[in-house]
Chain A
Amino acid sequence: MSNAFFGLEIAKRALQAQQVAMDVTGHNIANSNTVGYTRQSPKFSQETVSSGGLFVLPHLRNLGAGVSVNEVQRLRDKFIDLQIRQESRTASYWKTIDEGLEQIEVIFGEPQEGALSEIFDRFWNTWQELAKSPESQAARALVAETANLLSTAFNHTHNQFVVQQQQLNEKIAIKVDEVNNYVQQIYDLNQQIMKLSLGGGNANDYKDQLDLLVDKLSNVLDFQVSENSNGTYSLILQGRILVSDKEKRFLEVEANSTTGFWEVKFQGEEQINLDYQNGELKALFYLRDEVVEEYKKYLNDLAGGIINAVNTAHKQGYTLEDPPVKGGDFFVGQDAATIALNPSIDADPGKIAASLTGAPGDGENALAVARLRDQAIVDGSTPDDYYRGVVSRLGVEKAESSRLLTNQNLLVDQLDMRKEAVSGVSLDEEMTNLIKYQYAYQAASLLTRTVDEMLDTLVNRIK
């Protein structure tokens, strides 16, 4: 203790430190509702002055010299961040899948009125009616009309699947734009953080933004994150650097030469293998290339089976013309997209071959067609069983994806809460701290006054 002004110095440092602490508290309170904000905390540290020398008594060496705030910490648990990114990526995957399956459910529209199952019932029943009165033009017109209805229903459903695939394809392009946007923003932030850290500045708030962007990007893609010593992040996608403090790579879409659908690749470089991916982008690809494609195929198989079987049976019979001739194709087309009633039958329902002998009152061929309903004409099943199987399967898949999504969301909520417990701003806590800092500030002020009075005595009263 060698300096008479040392006490003032300690008081000054205390005032400064408490002021910084109060600013940090204020910042916390101000940002208590800011998304992505991480609670900050001043790190007080004791100051010591090394006042050595031969003539200083040992117990007076290295006396405390007050306090300073040499760092403002971000209170964040990196392990929870990692878990949240993983789990919310899976949640995003299932959310996209669940939405896609829901759209397929809406396309099938079961079990509401006017859905395919009801049209099937009507279609086969009109053949029964025709079998009962094969000479009736009304019954024939009804068969033709219902066949048109069935064809339109197939065409329409198929078309909706095509539209869904196109929408998913568009979404993929939009997601890739989004990824590029994030990459650019992360790169920019990395630059700022790097500059700040070089100058020894506080980059806490930039880091919050960085974490928020990485969180968002990780919902779309699966990549590794590593933190560099200067506080910036490097994102690695399939062994390539997506973005770091030095470089960035953008993604782009390119139309597949056979399907015409988008593929994702590094700009000007190789394609990204999505097999090992997770997240929204993977879900969009999976829906577009497998799920919707599969249901489209089921629909095509069903339509194809019905077309073949009905046509084969129809050709066995005779028309109602005079003289009767052998029936032609009842349906034209070969799948759900192209199925249509033969235009010549549409124009003249008398061309429906309901008779097996040529006699107008004979409805045995119409009956043969009606009976196809109970025959294994679609991939080893009856058309009813096949269709029911497809829609039930959809139901199971949709129920499963909903269940997984709910569970995953619960998990993410749980993790979010743990993150909030560490990083969230508690107003009670901040107010308590504020009081604490305020009193410390007041006490430091008192210290200044006391030293002041002391010096006053020393300087002015000693005569």
Chain B
Amino acid sequence: MRVTQKILTDRSMQNLNNILSRVLRTQDILSSGKEIRRPSDDPVRFNQVLSLRTSIEKLDQYTSNVEDGINWLNLVDESLSSVSGVLEKVRTLVLQGANGTLTAEDREMIATEIEAYLEELIGTANTSYAGRHLFSGTQTLTVPFSREGDIITYYGDNNSIILEIENNTTLAIGFPGDDVFFRGFEASSGDMTSVDFNNYNGSSFTINGKIVNIDSATITSLSDLVNLINNDPNLKSEVYALSDGDRLILRSRTASPLSLSGAPLEAWGMIDSGGDILNSREAEGVFKVVEDIIKDLRNNEVSKLSGEDLGNLDEALDNLLAVRSQVGARTLRLENSRNRFEEFSVNFKKLLSLNEDIDVAEVVMQLNEHQNVYQMALAATARVIQPTLLDFL
């Protein structure tokens, strides 16, 4: 082949450019510490990098969820533990008060002491953490319990706050106050699974004299009806609704019974034609038990104190213990998850680093190699370009 000076210089320039672009790429990799700077650097690995980053982000979120859950449950457990302590003290006082040799004044003193304990119990039940009340169900902004005169009112609801601890797995970490401390009077309907709310369009019923209108455009299911009652500002201070899936349950916020009327309630099996409630439960719970004790102490009902009251108190303590064991079980589950997540996170981060980060030693070696080649190419170019026949004429 005929070789001209231009071929030599062009070729040398090309080679120098190629080597320099390799040096540039290696330096870019080295100074950023990342091998994948753009999707086109390695599309397959890029996809993995992005996917791993998302997995790590999700895992971090779940770890944070789980840790918040553990903190929350620890607070619940502390509160319940202090309630147990107080109830133990009340139990000792009840035994003392059941002693037949005591005078009415003595019992009044004990009653006053227990009353102070009741206030303490209510205070504990009203504990809040970061602006959220522990025991008001999902009405977390509302102080759950109040006691005025001797009427105890529960302002929360029966729902539990939940936490997503991994993909599509939730854990209830709330313990509504009506399950733990005090539940008011309750009325429930019959099975309502087959009720068609279109048939009740425009009809209404009353709860404690307050009218609830059924509009089938917005009420299509039992849970819509529950929400309607719960979100009604007129009813809010007196009653709340819940459902076990089949039945509508209305709970009074206090121990006093509800007055219900209306054709729909009758059709759903909540009241009879005379307006009497068919299925009802009296108020119950720790606060009720302690309040009964105070009443019986003041009324000198010694036999009731040592019998029924003590029995109820032991039952309340057992119930509390059962709740605490649930709290413990859920805390354990969250702790297991946390440990697992930590392990996952370490593995994912290792994988990400394998995919994304450079092997510094290797890249430095490469850079040196490229630089050496560049130097040699420069030297060769300097020699090749210079001589022509002109130099020898």
Q: Complex formed: what's the CA distance from A108 to B356 in Å?
A: 18
Contact flag A361-B43 (CB < 8 Å), given A374-B167, A417-B7, A427-B390: no
Chain A, 284-329, CB within 8 A of any chain B CB: 318, 322-324
Contact between A110 and B137, CB atoms less than 8 A apart: no
A-chain residues with CB within 8 Å of residue B65 when the two chains form the complex? 128, 132
Q: Does B383 contact A (CB under 8 A)?
A: no
CB-nearest residue of chain B to A388: B50
Within the complex, the shortest CB–CB distance from B35 to chain A, in Å, comes to: 11
B-chain residues with CB within 8 Å of residue A421 when the two chains form the complex? 1-4, 7
Within the complex, the shortest CB–CB distance from A366 to chain B, in Å, comes to: 10
Within the complex, the shortest CB–CB distance from B358 to chain A, in Å, comes to: 14
The interface bits of chain A over 398-413 (1 if a CB of B lies within 8 angstroms of the residue's CB, else 0) are: 1100100000000001
Interface-lining segment among B226-234, B248-256, B364-372: B226-234
CB-nearest residue of chain B to A125: B61
The interface bits of chain B over 331-364 (1 if a CB of A lies within 8 angstroms of the residue's CB, else 0) are: 0000000000000000000000000100000000
Contact flag A121-B159 (CB < 8 Å), given A361-B136, A426-B5: no
Contact between B164 and A420, CB atoms less than 8 A apart: no
A-chain residues with CB within 8 Å of residue B74 when the two chains form the complex? none
Q: Does B53 contact A (CB under 8 A)?
A: yes
B-chain residues with CB within 8 Å of residue A118 when the two chains form the complex? 53
Within the complex, the shortest CB–CB distance from A368 to chain B, in Å, comes to: 10
Q: Does B151 contact A (CB under 8 A)?
A: no
Contact flag A135-B50 (CB < 8 Å), given A359-B139, A424-B7: no
Contact between B4 and A361, CB atoms less than 8 A apart: no
Q: Complex formed: what's the CA distance from A357 to B223 in Å?
A: 8
Q: Complex formed: what's the CA distance from A117 to B11 in Å?
A: 43
Name B6's contact: one of A32, A358, A395, A398 (CB within 8 Å). Answer: A32
B-chain residues with CB within 8 Å of residue A422 when the two chains form the complex? 2
Q: Does B311 contact A (CB under 8 A)?
A: no
CB-nearest residue of chain A to B62: A128
Contact flag A424-B6 (CB < 8 Å), given A361-B139, A432-B389: yes
Q: Complex formed: what's the CA distance from A424 to B7 in Å?
A: 8
Contact between A395 and B161, CB atoms less than 8 A apart: no
Contact between A117 and B50, CB atoms less than 8 A apart: yes
Q: Does A384 contact B (CB under 8 A)?
A: yes
Name B39's contact: one of A324, A370, A395, A429 (CB within 8 Å). Answer: A395
Within the complex, the shortest CB–CB distance from A338 to chain B, in Å, comes to: 26
Q: Does B54 contact A (CB under 8 A)?
A: yes
Within the complex, the shortest CB–CB distance from B14 to chain A, in Å, comes to: 6
CB-nearest residue of chain B to A427: B388
A-chain residues with CB within 8 Å of residue B90 when the two chains form the complex? none
Number of A-B contacts (CB under 8 A): 176
Name B388's contact: one of A359, A397, A402, A428 (CB within 8 Å). Answer: A428
A-chain residues with CB within 8 Å of residue B157 when the two chains form the complex? 357, 359
Contact between A392 and B47, CB atoms less than 8 A apart: yes
Q: Does A455 contact B (CB under 8 A)?
A: no
Q: Complex formed: what's the CA distance from A68 to B371 in Å?
A: 56
The interface bits of chain B over 47-59 (1 if a CB of A lies within 8 angstroms of the residue's CB, else 0) are: 1011101100110
Interface residues of A, count at CB 8 A:
62
Within the complex, the shortest CB–CB distance from B246 to chain A, in Å, comes to: 18
Contact between B132 and A384, CB atoms less than 8 A apart: no
Q: Does B379 contact A (CB under 8 A)?
A: no
Contact between B7 and A361, CB atoms less than 8 A apart: no
Contact between A318 and B227, CB atoms less than 8 A apart: yes
B-chain residues with CB within 8 Å of residue A457 when the two chains form the complex? none
Within the complex, the shortest CB–CB distance from A406 to chain B, in Å, comes to: 10
Contact between B2 and A363, CB atoms less than 8 A apart: no
Contact between A121 and B57, CB atoms less than 8 A apart: yes
B-chain residues with CB within 8 Å of residue A413 when the two chains form the complex? 14
Name B230's contact: one of A358, A361, A425 (CB within 8 Å). Answer: A358
Contact between B140 and A105, CB atoms less than 8 A apart: no
Q: Complex formed: what's the CA distance from A110 to B38 in Å?
A: 6
Within the complex, the shortest CB–CB distance from B68 to chain A, in Å, comes to: 6
Contact between A391 and B50, CB atoms less than 8 A apart: yes
Contact between A374 and B226, CB atoms less than 8 A apart: no
B-chain residues with CB within 8 Å of residue A33 when the two chains form the complex? 6
Within the complex, the shortest CB–CB distance from B207 to chain A, in Å, comes to: 16
Contact between B50 and A128, CB atoms less than 8 A apart: no
Within the complex, the shortest CB–CB distance from A321 to chain B, in Å, comes to: 10
B-chain residues with CB within 8 Å of residue A117 when the two chains form the complex? 50, 53-54
Q: Does B46 contact A (CB under 8 A)?
A: yes
Contact between B57 and A125, CB atoms less than 8 A apart: yes
Contact flag A111-B138 (CB < 8 Å), given A359-B230, A362-B159: no
Q: Complex formed: what's the CA distance from A128 to B157 in Å?
A: 23
Contact between A428 and B40, CB atoms less than 8 A apart: no
Chain A, 421-457, CB within 8 A of any chain B CB: 421-422, 424-429, 431-432
Within the complex, the shortest CB–CB distance from A33 to chain B, in Å, comes to: 7
Within the complex, the shortest CB–CB distance from B377 to chain A, in Å, comes to: 16
Q: Does B162 contact A (CB under 8 A)?
A: yes
Chain B, 139-176, CB within 8 A of any chain A CB: 139-141, 157, 159, 161-164, 167-168, 170, 174
Q: Does A27 contact B (CB under 8 A)?
A: no
Q: Complex formed: what's the CA distance from A253 to B156 in Å?
A: 72
Within the complex, the shortest CB–CB distance from A54 to chain B, in Å, comes to: 52
Name B5's contact: one of A121, A133, A136, A427 (CB within 8 Å). Answer: A427
CB-nearest residue of chain B to A401: B40
Contact flag A361-B162 (CB < 8 Å), given A125-B57, A323-B233: no
B-chain residues with CB within 8 Å of residue A32 when the two chains form the complex? 5-6
Q: Complex formed: what's the CA distance from A402 to B43 in Å?
A: 13
CB-nearest residue of chain A to B142: A360
Chain A, 128-151, CB within 8 A of any chain B CB: 128-129, 131-133, 135-136
A-chain residues with CB within 8 Å of residue B174 when the two chains form the complex? 361
A-chain residues with CB within 8 Å of residue B227 when the two chains form the complex? 318, 357-358
Contact between B164 and A370, CB atoms less than 8 A apart: yes
CB-nearest residue of chain B to A432: B389
A-chain residues with CB within 8 Å of residue B164 when the two chains form the complex? 128, 131, 367, 370-371
CB-nearest residue of chain A to B161: A361
Contact flag A133-B57 (CB < 8 Å), given A391-B39, A422-B2: no
Contact between B231 and A318, CB atoms less than 8 A apart: yes
Within the complex, the shortest CB–CB distance from A364 to chain B, in Å, comes to: 6
Chain A, 354-386, CB within 8 A of any chain B CB: 355, 357-364, 367, 370-371, 374, 384
Could you list 17 further interchain pairs (A-B, Cβ under 8 angstroms) beyond the known A128-B164, A359-B230, A362-B159? A121-B57, A128-B65, A318-B231, A323-B233, A357-B223, A359-B138, A360-B138, A361-B161, A388-B51, A394-B39, A394-B40, A395-B47, A399-B41, A413-B14, A420-B10, A425-B5, A428-B388
Per CB-CB distance, the 7 closest pairs between chain A and chain B, nearest first, are A395-B39, A361-B140, A395-B43, A398-B40, A359-B138, A424-B4, A361-B138
Interface residues in chain A, defined as those with a beta carbon under 8 Å from any beta carbon in chain B: 32-33, 101, 105, 108, 110-111, 117-118, 120-121, 125, 128-129, 131-133, 135-136, 318, 322-324, 355, 357-364, 367, 370-371, 374, 384, 388, 391-399, 402, 413, 416-417, 420-422, 424-429, 431-432
Q: List 27 A-B contacts (CB under 8 A).
A: A110-B38, A111-B49, A118-B53, A125-B57, A125-B61, A128-B61, A128-B65, A131-B164, A323-B233, A359-B230, A360-B139, A361-B137, A367-B162, A367-B164, A371-B168, A374-B167, A388-B47, A391-B46, A391-B50, A392-B47, A398-B39, A420-B4, A421-B3, A424-B2, A426-B4, A429-B2, A431-B393
